[in-house]
């Protein structure tokens, strides 16, 4: 790689930035090797990082985070953190083993020491971390990455462990989705769906899940998406990154970079063109629903990706207006981050959900919790922890079937709440 004079001094340990010179030099060394391996010619300056939170359900993960903080490494750009393996405040109330909590809690002082913000969420963009179009960032969490790239037009790859080194140096190799030529569309999708077909987050989630399964790691382009909300686009992206490993999509009129189909494909012909109609969406619901209508359910999950205050308000109002409560045999988790929950608590939203028998869970979600089959086996817990889950997220439905071992049903948000009250699949 071709390094600037300042970058050479950072590599030599002569510029400490916010942390120790040795920590900066070590991070730069990793990044140089990373860039060399992928043929990058130079670094770019990153302005923001979304950092891996290091979870206690993964052996050695938290210990490594604590050891890294002890090296004197400190972030030099605004840095948020991704989800944890438990709600650090409510862990005992929902049956999380103390071993999981005690280990997980060790990341909090480590992150503070490094200057990492304790957001512990998969939706930092909903907390105001909105990098401008064309800016270079580095991020973990697939649903955040695809949103940053597509809706906002910021530029990031799937950061992985190298996010920690970019956060410390403010540098990242110029490669992958940071390059114009890698951001052009590859597949065109002709959307043959009307407003009645794309009206809820779950509909956009199903659309993303279907398309992601076709394109894999390529760049899909939607010729029309109706009038999606921010929440719809978030659901679409999360599902694209679940059934495939999509990191960027274009939807002229709704995403940041391409204002026309021609611009999305950078003047080239799409590699493939696929129609998407009602039958394709229906196939996703059928694929991700293994519970028979009317069958008993014991868990309902909302908030994958993490819910906003508006989402939480919808749930609270739904219960309040109908004066109903969650069935005694059902656990309802509404997942969000600690900052959003605090705002919701100020407005009385949290109290309304809890009064109805639901629980507002922070920092985590079922699939990243002690309920994983592998974690249960390691701790000697019974499996599966959940028998039948209803959710409005393709991402959640796809992962819990494998990782928690339960049956699943994909439904709209309102149908999820109806199922939580009825104790059976609506």
What is the model's pTM? Answer: 0.97
99-137 exposure pattern, b = at least 16 Cβ within 10 A, e = fewer: ebbebbebbbebbebbbbbbbbbbbbbbbebebeeebbb
Q: Give the model's pLDDT for residue 15.
A: 84
CATH 3.30.499.10 in the chain: give the residue spans: 5-179, 289-422
Q: Give the model's pLDDT for residue 281.
A: 97
Which CATH number is 289-422 given? 3.30.499.10
Q: Give the model's pLDDT for residue 93.
A: 95
Give the domain 5-179 fold.
Aconitase; domain 3 (3.30.499)
Cβ of 273: how many Cβ atoms within 10 Å? 12
Consecutive 10-residue averages of pLDDT for the chain (426 residues): 96 87 96 98 98 93 96 96 97 96 97 97 97 98 97 97 96 98 98 94 98 98 95 98 97 96 97 98 98 97 98 98 98 98 98 98 96 96 96 97 96 98 98
Q: Give the model's pLDDT for residue 17.
A: 81
């Amino acid at each position: 790689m071709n390094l600037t004079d300042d970058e050479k001094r950072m590599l030599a340990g002569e510029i400490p930035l916010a942390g120790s010179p040795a920590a900066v030099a070590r991070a730069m060394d990793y990044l140089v090797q990373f860039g060399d391996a992928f043929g990058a010619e130079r670094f770019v300056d990153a302005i923001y990082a979304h950092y891996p939170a290091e979870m206690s359900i993964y052996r050695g993960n938290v210990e490594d985070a604590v050891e890294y903080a002890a090296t004197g490494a400190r972030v030099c750009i605004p840095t948020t953190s991704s989800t944890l393996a438990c709600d650090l405040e409510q862990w005992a109330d929902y049956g999380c083993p103390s071993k999981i909590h005690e280990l997980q809690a060790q990341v909090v002082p480590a992150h503070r020491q490094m200057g990492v913000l304790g957001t512990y969420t998969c939706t930092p963009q909903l907390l105001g971390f909105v990098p401008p179009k064309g800016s270079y960032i580095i991020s973990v969490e697939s649903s955040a990455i695809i949103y940053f790239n597509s809706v906002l037009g910021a530029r990031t790859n799937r950061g992985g462990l190298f996010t920690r080194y970019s956060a410390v140096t403010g540098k990242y190799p110029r490669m992958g989705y940071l390059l114009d030529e890698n951001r052009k569309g590859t597949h065109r999708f002709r959307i043959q769906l009307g407003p009645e077909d794309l009206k809820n987050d779950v509909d956009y989630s199903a659309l993303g899940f279907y398309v992601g399964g076709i394109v894999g790691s390529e760049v899909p382009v939607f010729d029309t998406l109706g009038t999606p909300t921010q929440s719809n686009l978030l659901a679409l992206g999360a599902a694209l990154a679940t059934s495939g490993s999509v990191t960027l999509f274009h939807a002229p009129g709704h995403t940041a970079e391409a204002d026309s189909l021609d611009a999305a494909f950078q003047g080239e012909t799409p590699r493939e063109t696929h129609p998407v109609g009602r039958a394709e969406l229906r196939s996703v619901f059928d694929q991700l629903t293994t519970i028979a209508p009317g069958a008993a359910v014991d868990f309902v999950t909302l908030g994958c990706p993490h819910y906003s205050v508006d989402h939480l308000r919808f749930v609270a109002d739904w219960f309040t207006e109908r004066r109903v409560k969650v069935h005694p045999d059902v656990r309802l988790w509404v997942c969000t981050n600690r900052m959003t929950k605090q705002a919701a608590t100020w407005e009385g939203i949290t109290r309304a959900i809890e009064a109805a028998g639901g629980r507002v869970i922070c920092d985590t979600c079922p699939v990243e919790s002690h309920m994983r089959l592998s974690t249960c086996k390691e701790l000697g817990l019974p499996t599966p922890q959940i028998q039948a889950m209803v959710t409005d997220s393709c991402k959640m439905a796809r992962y819990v079937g494998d990782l928690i071992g339960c049956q699943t049903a994909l439904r709209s948000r309102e149908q999820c709440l109806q199922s939580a009250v009825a104790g059976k699949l609506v």
